[in-house]
Amino acid sequence: MADARAWLEITDVPYAPDPAASFERLRHRPGAVLLDSGRPDAPGGRFDILTSDPLVTLTIADGSPVCDPVLPLPSEPFAAQQALLDHAQAALLPSLSAALAERATELPFLGGLLGYWGYPQSATHDPRQPADRQPGPALPDARLGLYDWALIQDHQCQRAFLIATAQRRSQVLTWLQADPPRREIDFQLTRPFTADIDRDGYARRFQKVMDYLQAGDCYQINLAQRFTARFQGSTWQAYRRLRRATPTPFGGYLAWDEKAILSLSPERFIRVVDSQVETRPIKGTRPRGSTTDEDRRLATELEQSAKDRAENIMIVDLLRNDLGRVCRSGSVTVPQLCGLESYANVHHLVSIVRGELAVDASPLDLLAAAFPGGSITGAPKHRAMQIIDELEPSRRSVYCGSLGYLDRRGRMDTSIAIRTVVADDDTLHIWGGGGLVADSEEASEYRETLAKIERLMQALEASDGYENDSQ
């Protein structure tokens, strides 16, 4: 990292509402990542972040961090991430020109860690392998790069900025001006999506959840099912299909070694800016209607549902507790409770919980304390995760983990990796789930798991109008 202390520069570059053209020229580079605000008008949808060629790649597998190139790091995963981020802060922070500091205030990422944290990486994770456990995607628990440059697209201001040293800027501009790579094999499914468990299998697991709820083990348990398909061709084309079908404010694409993550998440997990913390849990869902009147009726039904509001409030209480462990005493508030947000495929109830980090706490402390998100586990979290491990026949992998970044200034923004497809060699995996409470109805909950991902699966199964889309 000999050049890390060179002065950073912020350069205006051409803005585009869709980051595809720029990322098309970067996506084959080592460690290329797109954090994509495919729906800029939604809360949290202001910025796209594109980057590649990390200084260091940190992979965590089976609880052990491995760094490339090798650096001396602690053996505990979150401690290793903090050590790497501290290294970046020490090496990179002095490089920002004072003249540019004010201009950079609103930009979300000026270098730091960026990547994903998979669901299994949790200090409370206590797996109990079910007898019918099925193999899952062979992805590490987490994969994060330490990046010293980024292309930021600001959809609010309709401007784009390249943040890089002069040397990096020259490299990146060359990459962005190059011809796109040669066309790949067009994406298509070679075998359709099939569920890992049949309809009766879901019903049996639902009943076991009801038994646990009635016994007092939990108040709420999130139960998911996985669908698997075979494919060939470009996962980038697949991501473009998904983005077109269900644009969301917390999209993301990263690919390496015949593996890829294609995330179209509507849900923010945790954001930290200047020690101010925000999380936006989703709990409560209805499908979109086929007519304006039906759509309005379904939205109103969701807003007025005592059951869905109760589920949401349970998770709000859980997150208030999670944030309270790391935030300043008395700072945690709930400025929005059960607000309606509508997406291409579903209506959701979304709450907002805010707080202020304690003076001696870091964003990574907060991530470790709250991970994985309560909206996709249940309450109490530890017991709900044990039951999930017992009942779900496949590991969640990246699903219900997080994508996001930790900026070297102490900023952080992460999503909950729902509506997320994981590609492993020639196989795609996608999960649909929902929170179950004592008065849940099995048929309704089963339909909800499908409503959340049907549009994604249909987009990937489509055979017309996409294959000639080279971007």
Told to judge if 259 belongs to the known catalytic residues of this protein, a careful annotator would answer no
What is the rounded CA–CA span in Å between residue 386 and residue 357? 29
What one-character-per-residue DSSP string does 193-242 give? EEESS-HHHHHHHHHHHHHHHHTTS-SEEEEEEEEEEEEES-HHHHHHHH
Q: Active-site residue 267, yes or no?
A: yes
For residue 321, count CB atoms less than 10 angstroms from its CB and return exposed for 0-12, middle for 13-18, buried for 19 or more: middle
Other Cβ atoms less than 10 A from the Cβ of 458: the count is: 13
Amino acid, single-letter form, for residue 17: P
- For the chain, the farthest-separated pair of C-alpha atoms sits apart, in whole angstroms, at 64
Q: Which of 259, 283, 381, 452 is catalytic?
A: 283
CA–CA separation, 16 and 270 (whole Å): 27
User: Which residue of the set 259, 267, 356, 448 is catalytic?
Assistant: 267
**Distance, CA of 321 to CA of 337 (rounded, Å):** 16
Measured over the CA atoms of residue 43, residue 47, residue 53 and residue 57, the dihedral's sign is negative
Cα separation of the two ends of the chain: 33
Structure tokens at 74: 């602690």
Dist. CA 83–CA 75, nearest whole Å: 11
- Catalytic residue set: 267, 283
